[in-house]
Chain A
């Protein structure tokens, strides 16, 4: 259906002081043949909005270009309802606030005017191609699968159930409770965080069992998970029997495990009277603290960071061991007030209100603490352990003797060296992709629950070293996300970060060559494959980033409101002057999460920018298709800049892999460009964060200077 396009240009906020808006109207009318074109001095005000709405009511216009401020202003004001596309051409920020204004005589600057006109053309052309996205519809099964019946899993199940959604809880052991089964006591869990709590597992399990909407699957494992958020099919295996259930989202709570004590021979793990903290916990539960020969242990030493903070073992800190050893030292003193506990630490880590527990344990005269580096652990006959400590608070080189040595072993994710707990039937593998240390990949600062598998959330020690209290909090958060998945998916809406986005990629499979790039590259494993390797989309797994669109060499993947055609049209609409010496043109693709707002910030600060740039926003650099490069070069752009987030271990890409994939693609195309006798430096990716807005002019000018040296794009004007 043909779009009826209206172009509304605001002349306020200094736009009129920089560009001739009447001339822009002419561009809209003559070149774009827009159905309606208006200039208004205050478009976001009621009168301006009324101008747009009256055209809408009259049926003159159904798609809109608002050439005014950026999307970051008045988004809801310019919302014309779900049936109508509104595109924002930010000529206030990109042009009026960052380029040369009219001179004292009121004459507009030619370059500024050209930029504004180009943006009208670009957005006008694009809006005509845009369609209203139709939500993906499926029968959403509003229940949650929890894998793992330890503290995290039990809490997650209870939280989900309390929110009103049925739960299926799978636990591989016959008994629920996981590691907490062995705990003599729990850590303090309420202000003032001084006293140990009884093991509350039984009460927790009985609460769980009393819930009719929680189905328990003990002695079971998950054999397969197929489908997509809102509609997963799970095969649960119990011995020889199998059961299939349908669920909508997954919480993976398979917990952690202790680092293998036996690897710690440098700490005496091979000696008789050396135990791990797990072994000690079990011993304390019996109420008797003994050496291996059964004689009472009267001096018990704890070595902290046993395997943690150690490049040869776990480089990270296991977070929980300091509190755990303080807890176990308390056991020592509860069981026998004559027994001494030594805690040998590197740094005592009892963050937050846990400091109060540290204080309480410190106060016990029988708990002796010192910082120090373990130089050596040796055996003194059969019955004692000698610990050599360097740089201790008690002296440079000291030796301690203990009847029993407890190694405060660190935590490892249950995803390390174990059979898959998820068995996802995903083309990209059975598990959550990990980043380092075997912990699932996530953007863990701002959006800690965003794994690379939509609708599947990890919680508890499986995803980060943590104790019971943290695991409980984590379980509640993951439960929210699991529930949120059900609700958003049921409306066909995307999850974070494009929450609410209805657009999902369309595949024109008739032209698919089964090259599998899209199925391999999707950061979220959205695409499975059939036998021939043709992609089989699972729209509810999609986060709408467009990485598949960027990957496809056949350009058969598009979104209703975001497609290769739309972007190519934008590229082609830019008027390229023939005379390079005066007017080079640089195309910038800017990631709309971080780089694009950086332009807004620059504009807000009225930072003057090179007038030869034209900016095209993309959802993520992952959506950059190499055809954009050839389009840009063939229409005569002299250089193309790709601005996006940092990639690598400390990636900042909200779609995890987007900027990295773009970089890979560009490095490939650069070879091709060289073969065409064109300088590959004309095509370059830049990391630009919101913090870099002041550097934008310099980054761009440096690039333009380089391009100047190369001379004009030889394809210009061809």
Chain B
């Protein structure tokens, strides 16, 4: 037997990448301009040139287990300079997508979540659940929440119901995410053995969180500087919204348990309200910028359904959230409740299928970044 690595080109996998945003993959002729152009690429075993040839040959194991594809922040400096127009940045994105798809469990959900039709089908789940709950709770009262003096969304669906539904969704997400990440970490370990010079797990985690919060990897980018800003806005917007939601929960239950605290809906200048609205605005601007850039800026790269479904749902989530408030204040009763309903549906989708959609990059990338530090792959950035 040979101790050589046996390579078997996988045509299907290549086609998978080609259809997942890496459409120009095959143009690469291995000059490695990309590797030099990349501000994040390492000195020792740099990327993305080697990923390009692995992808051209469809070497699945090397790609889905690759930690390097996650070190790429898709700034597309490489694609900008690529003499063949092979768009390595987009290929790296496609590789990440292939990776998420490969590890997400159940794989059927992962597959569905990233095809337009499948996503619609999956969207039916929260629509039916939430719609069903609303009907069940309101049928005997004749849907009188529509006719009450004030628009109070809790009248349509009480917080406790929402909590139960979303707790289950979150539970599903957490379980599937754990399953996915377990496979992913296994893959990372296989593909990227631990080398000397790695950080301790603690250092790796704190370092990674620092990197993420500061977005400093994005800041290395050349051509797509604005991208980092958009992503930053969106990320902090979502963090803000996440905190808001949880604060609301806490306040609500404190109120329920008899504390003298104002329950929702809050007045406009309530600090939680302000946090929520600012966050929503930030998220909205972020998502708007991202969408616009993807639609109109040639240099950004091709977006696959994987990208669009995620962006679309994000966009709709934020939009319906904002509009729910607007319509409530404007007292467009029916529209307000319908919008809120859809807001809940989208949030459900986002939450439940987070590990299966591009939202999963939140976990996968974080894991990969921690692992990269931990295994010694990721060296300190130049300014460190």
> A634 to chain B: closest CB distance in Å?
68
CB-CB under 8 A from B5, the residues of chain A are: 394-395, 397-399
A388→B18 contact, CB < 8 A: no
User: Does B59 touch A at the CB level, under 8 Å?
Assistant: yes
User: Does B295 touch A at the CB level, under 8 Å?
Assistant: no
A369→B56 contact, CB < 8 A: yes
B14→A365 contact, CB < 8 A: yes
B54→A394 contact, CB < 8 A: yes
Q: Of the candidates B9, B15, B53, which one forms a contact with A393 in the assembled complex, judged by CB atoms under 8 Å apart? A: B53
Binary contact track A139-171/B, C-beta < 8 Å → 1, others 0? 000000000000000000000000000000000
A401→B53 contact, CB < 8 A: no
Binds B, one of A227-235, A356-364, A567-575: A356-364
User: Does A342 touch B at the CB level, under 8 Å?
Assistant: yes
CB-CB under 8 A from B57, the residues of chain A are: 368, 370, 394
Q: Of the candidates A363, A365, A398, which one forms a contact with B7 in the assembled complex, judged by CB atoms under 8 Å apart? A: A398
> B65 to chain A: closest CB distance in Å?
15
Closest to A386 in B: B2
A401→B11 contact, CB < 8 A: no
Binary contact track B60-84/A, C-beta < 8 Å → 1, others 0? 0000000000000000000000001
B11→A399 contact, CB < 8 A: no
> A297 to chain B: closest CB distance in Å?
14
CA distance A338 to B14 in the complex (A): 13
Binary contact track A264-282/B, C-beta < 8 Å → 1, others 0? 0000000000000000000
User: Does B30 touch A at the CB level, under 8 Å?
Assistant: yes
B27→A342 contact, CB < 8 A: no
Name, among B9, B27, B28, B56, the residue most crowded by chain A CB atoms within 10 Å (CB to CB): B9
Say whether, besides A342-B9, A348-B29, A363-B27, A399 and B15 are in contact (CB < 8 Å).
Answer: no
B26→A365 contact, CB < 8 A: yes
B6→A340 contact, CB < 8 A: no
> B8 to chain A: closest CB distance in Å?
7
CB-CB under 8 A from B27, the residues of chain A are: 359, 362-363
> B95 to chain A: closest CB distance in Å?
15
Interface residues of B in 18-56 (CB under 8 A from A): 18, 26-30, 50, 53-54, 56
> A75 to chain B: closest CB distance in Å?
50
A400→B7 contact, CB < 8 A: yes
Say whether, besides A359-B27, A394-B53, A394-B57, A401 and B8 are in contact (CB < 8 Å).
Answer: yes
Interface residues of B in 323-339 (CB under 8 A from A): none
CB-CB under 8 A from A386, the residues of chain B are: 2
CB-CB under 8 A from B2, the residues of chain A are: 386, 388, 399
A388→B4 contact, CB < 8 A: yes
User: Does A516 touch B at the CB level, under 8 Å?
Assistant: no
Interface residues of A in 389-411 (CB under 8 A from B): 393-395, 397-401
CB-CB under 8 A from A359, the residues of chain B are: 27, 84
A399→B4 contact, CB < 8 A: yes
Q: Chain A interface mostly helix, strand, loop or mixed?
A: strand
User: Does A366 touch B at the CB level, under 8 Å?
Assistant: yes
CA distance A366 to B14 in the complex (A): 9
CB-CB under 8 A from B26, the residues of chain A are: 362-365
Closest to B59 in A: A394
CA distance A634 to B22 in the complex (A): 84
Q: Of the candidates B8, B9, B30, which one forms a contact with A371 in the assembled complex, judged by CB atoms under 8 Å apart? A: B30
> B211 to chain A: closest CB distance in Å?
30
Binary contact track A374-394/B, C-beta < 8 Å → 1, others 0? 000000000000101000011
A368→B30 contact, CB < 8 A: no
CB-CB under 8 A from A340, the residues of chain B are: 9, 11
A370→B11 contact, CB < 8 A: no
> A343 to chain B: closest CB distance in Å?
11
CB-CB under 8 A from A398, the residues of chain B are: 4-7
> A370 to chain B: closest CB distance in Å?
7
Closest to B54 in A: A394
> A662 to chain B: closest CB distance in Å?
50
> B160 to chain A: closest CB distance in Å?
53
Q: Of the candidates B6, B15, B28, B56, which one forms a contact with A368 in the assembled complex, judged by CB atoms under 8 Å apart? A: B56
Closest to A370 in B: B53
A365→B15 contact, CB < 8 A: yes
CA distance A386 to B7 in the complex (A): 11
Binary contact track B109-128/A, C-beta < 8 Å → 1, others 0? 00000000000000000000
Closest to B52 in A: A393
B9→A368 contact, CB < 8 A: yes
Name, among A364, A365, A395, A398, the residue most crowded by chain B CB atoms within 10 Å (CB to CB): A365
Name, among A299, A342, A363, A364, the residue most crowded by chain B CB atoms within 10 Å (CB to CB): A363
Closest to A367 in B: B26
CB-CB under 8 A from B8, the residues of chain A are: 400-401
> A704 to chain B: closest CB distance in Å?
56
CA distance A348 to B31 in the complex (A): 12
CA distance A386 to B27 in the complex (A): 27
Binary contact track B256-268/A, C-beta < 8 Å → 1, others 0? 0000000000000
CA distance A607 to B172 in the complex (A): 92
CA distance A393 to B32 in the complex (A): 11
CB-CB under 8 A from A365, the residues of chain B are: 11, 14-15, 18, 26
CA distance A362 to B84 in the complex (A): 11
CB-CB under 8 A from B11, the residues of chain A are: 338, 340, 365-366
CA distance A565 to B28 in the complex (A): 70
CB-CB under 8 A from A388, the residues of chain B are: 2, 4
CA distance A401 to B9 in the complex (A): 10
CB-CB under 8 A from B3, the residues of chain A are: 397
> B5 to chain A: closest CB distance in Å?
5
Interface residues of B in 90-132 (CB under 8 A from A): none
CA distance A400 to B59 in the complex (A): 12
Binary contact track A88-121/B, C-beta < 8 Å → 1, others 0? 0000000000000000000000000000000000
> B346 to chain A: closest CB distance in Å?
36
> B373 to chain A: closest CB distance in Å?
25
Other 18 A-B pairs with CB < 8 A, given A388-B2, A398-B4? A338-B11, A340-B11, A362-B26, A362-B27, A363-B26, A363-B27, A364-B26, A368-B56, A386-B2, A393-B50, A394-B5, A394-B53, A397-B4, A398-B5, A399-B6, A400-B6, A400-B8, A401-B8
22 contacts between A and B (CB under 8 A): A299-B9, A359-B84, A362-B27, A363-B26, A364-B26, A365-B15, A365-B18, A368-B56, A370-B57, A393-B53, A394-B53, A394-B54, A394-B57, A395-B5, A395-B7, A397-B4, A397-B5, A398-B4, A398-B6, A398-B7, A399-B7, A401-B8
7 tightest CB-CB pairs across the interface, nearest first? A399-B4, A368-B9, A365-B14, A397-B4, A393-B53, A363-B26, A399-B6
